[in-house]
Structure 1
Amino acid sequence: MTDQTRDDEPAPLGPSSLTWRYFGDTRTLLVGPRAAVLQNMLPALGQGVLDHSVFFSETFARLRRSAGPILDTVYGGARSPGTGRRVRDFHREIKGTMPDGSRYHALDPETYYWAHATFLDNMLYAVETFIRPLSEADKRRLYEESKTWFRMYGVSDRAMPEDWEAFQAYWKRMLEEVVVPHKTARYGVGYVTKGLPAPPRVPAPVWRAVSPPLNAVARFLTVGGMPPRTRELLDLPWSAADERRYRRFAAAVRRLGPVWPLLPEAVRYLPHARRAFRREGRPRAR
C-alpha cells in the first residue's frame, strides 16, 4: 500500500454513495457517543485530548465542534475539496509526551486512522442496529468508500487496511489488544453512573425534575451502543435484562423503516446532509 500524501485531491464522495445515504441519517445518533469513547480508548489519542482539548470543561460543545468538520468532509463534495485537509491541519500541533516517556502526535498515521475507523464502525453499527441489515457487498462498498473518505485528509494511508476482510481483523485486534480504559474515555462516560451535568442557565429545580428520565435514556443509549469488550474495560453496568430491552428497542426502530421516508427531511437527516443533497440537486436517499 502506498502513502497518500500527494497534493492531488481524491475524488470526493457524492449522492450516489452509501456513505452519503447513511452517515447523516439521524438514526445514527441512537448509538450514543460510541465513536468518541472508542477514540479516546487509544492511549495516544486519549492523551492528546487530555493534554490539548477543552473536552473536560466543555464536553458537549467539544463533541459538536468535532462532528461538524467530519460531516463537512463527507458531504463537502466537489465544491469543497479541501475540507479534509483543513481538518487534518487542526491537528498539527496536537503532540506531546505519554506517561511512559514516549512521544505522540495526532497526525501519526496509526493514531489518525483509528479515529477515522471509529466513524466507519459507528456508521456500520448504527445501520445494522437501527436501520437494516447490510449485505457483505454493502459492507465492502462502505469500506471502499471509507478509503476514499480517509484519503481526503491527506494523511499517510499506511495504517489503512487493504480491504474489508483486513479491516475486520484490524478492528478485532484493536478492541482485544490495543484499547485501554484511558482517563479521557472514563470521563466521557462518567455520566452513566453520576448523571448528566446540569446545562448552563437551566434552573436547578427544573433540572432536578427532568434529569432522571434524561439520565436513564443517556445511560441506556451510551452503554447499549458500546462493544461488549469496551463495556468491560470501562466498568459500564449492563445486565442481560438491559441487553434484551436494547434489542427490543432496536427492533422497534427498524420497524419504522417503511414510514421513515414519509417523515420531514429535517427529522431524517442532519443539516450537513440536507444541504449537500440540496446543493447537488439530487433527491434525498430513501
Structure 2
Amino acid sequence: MDSRVDERRTLRLPMVHRHLGDKRFAYTLPRALALQILVPGNASALVQHVHGGLWAHKNRAVSEMVYIAYSNRDLRTVMRTAHTHVKGVDSRGHRYHSLNPELFFFQHATYVDTLITSIETFHRPLSFDDKSELYRECRLWYTKYDISDRAQPATYGDFVDYFDDYCATRLETTPDTALLVDETLHPTTWLPRKVPPSAIRAMLHPRAAELLEIDVRPADRAALRLFAARTRTAIAATPARYRLMPAARHDPDV
C-alpha cells in the first residue's frame, strides 16, 4: 500500500485507535506502572499473583487490553475472567480484589494518563479539547470491560480532578512497592526495555517520582527528548500498520 494512503487511513481513525496500540505507548508504560505499584492492593496483587517477570506480565496484560480496545467483537467477559482469581490480603492487612471498581478503574486511569503523556512526548501537544475527545473515546473503551463504571468521571475535566486527588491522597509506598520498584524503572524485556533509564525517570508522574524518592534531573529530561526525537525519526520510515503492537493489527479497519 502507498505510504500516503496508509497515513490517510490512520488519520481517519479515532484518537484512541491511532495511539493506544502504537509502540510508543508501550515505551511510556513505566509511568503507569510506577503509579500502580503505589496502590497497596495493586502492588500486593503484582507480588502475589505475577510469576515470570513484571514486564512479561505487562506485555500479556497490555496486549490483551489493546486487543479488546481495537476489536469489534463482544469481549466483555475476558477482563472479568482474567481477574477473578486476583485477590488476597495486602501488606497492610487489608483485603483486596482486582475487580473492585475503584481499584480497577484507577489502574485504567493510569493508562489514560500515560496515553496522553505518550502522545505529547512522541507526537504533538494536545489541547484541552483534544484531551476531552480522547477521554470520551477512552470511556467507550472502558465499557468493553464489563466492570462497574461507578468510579469513572464523566468528563475530562472531572477526570483530571479525580486523578490529581487520587495521586495526592491515596498513593503510598509499601513493602511490596520496594520489591517492584527496580524492575519497574529498569525493564529487561518487551518494548520498554528499549527506553534508557534516564528517559524513564523523566517520564514519571511527579507524585510517583516524589514517593519513590527519584530526583528527576535536567539530564534525564534531555535524555527523554533525545529518545523521543530518535524514535520519531525511526517511526517515520515505518509503515503505519507496523508502528502498532501486534495486538492492535488484527482489526481489518486498522
Cα deviation for residue 86 of structure 1 reads 0.9
Q: Counterpart of 1:242 in structure 2: which amino acid?
A: D
Per the normalisation by structure 1, the TM-score is 0.74
Residue 74 and residue 102 in structure 1: after superposition, are their counterparts in 2 closer, same or farther (change >3 A)?
A: same
SS in 2 for 1:190: helix
Percent identity over paired residues: 29
| Bigger mean CA offset, 108-117 vs 172-181 | 172-181
Residue 228 (structure 1) aligns with: 206
1:30 and 2:16 correspond: no
Query: Aligned-residue CA RMSD in angstroms?
Result: 2.8
Q: Please identify, of 167-176 and 21-30, the stretch whose mean Cα deviation from structure 2 is larger.
A: 21-30
Q: Is residue 72 of structure 1 aligned with residue 67 of structure 2? A: yes
Could you say which residue in structure 1 is the equivalent of 2:7?
Answer: none
Q: What secondary structure is seen at the aligned counterpart in 1 of 2:66? A: helix
Matching of residue 47 in structure 1 with residue 44 in structure 2 = yes
Which of 1 and 2 has greater Rg? 1
For these two proteins, the number of residue pairs brought into alignment is 241
Give how far 1:130 is off: 1.1
Partner residue, 1:93: 85
Alignment of 1:1-286 (within 5 A): 16-54=13-51, 57-77=52-72, 80-82=73-75, 84-191=76-183, 217-250=195-228, 252=229, 256=233, 260=235, 262-265=237-240, 267-276=242-251, 279-280=252-253, 284=254
Q: 1:217 to 1:263 in 2, by over 3 A?
A: closer
CA contact (8 A) 1:192 1:218 kept: no
Deviation at 1:245, TM superposition (A): 3.6
Describe the shift of the 1:253–1:182 C-alpha distance in structure 2 as closer, same or farther (beyond 3 A).
farther
Q: 1:224-272, CA deviations, whole angstroms, 9 ceiling, x for partnerless residues?
A: 221122112112343233224434544x35864xx95552345422222
Give 5+ residue unaligned stretches, structure 1.
1-14, 200-213
Q: Which protein, 1 or 2, shows the higher relative CO under an 8 Å CA cutoff with sep ≥ 6? A: 2
**TM-score scaled to structure 2, two decimals?**
0.83
**Does the residue aligned with 2:250 lie in a helix, a strand or coil?**
helix
Query: Does structure 1 retain, via aligned residues, the 8 Å contact 2:21–2:247?
Result: yes
Task: Evaluate the alpha carbon distance shift between residue 216 and residue 129 of structure 1 in structure 2; reply closer, same or farther with a 3 A threshold.
Answer: closer
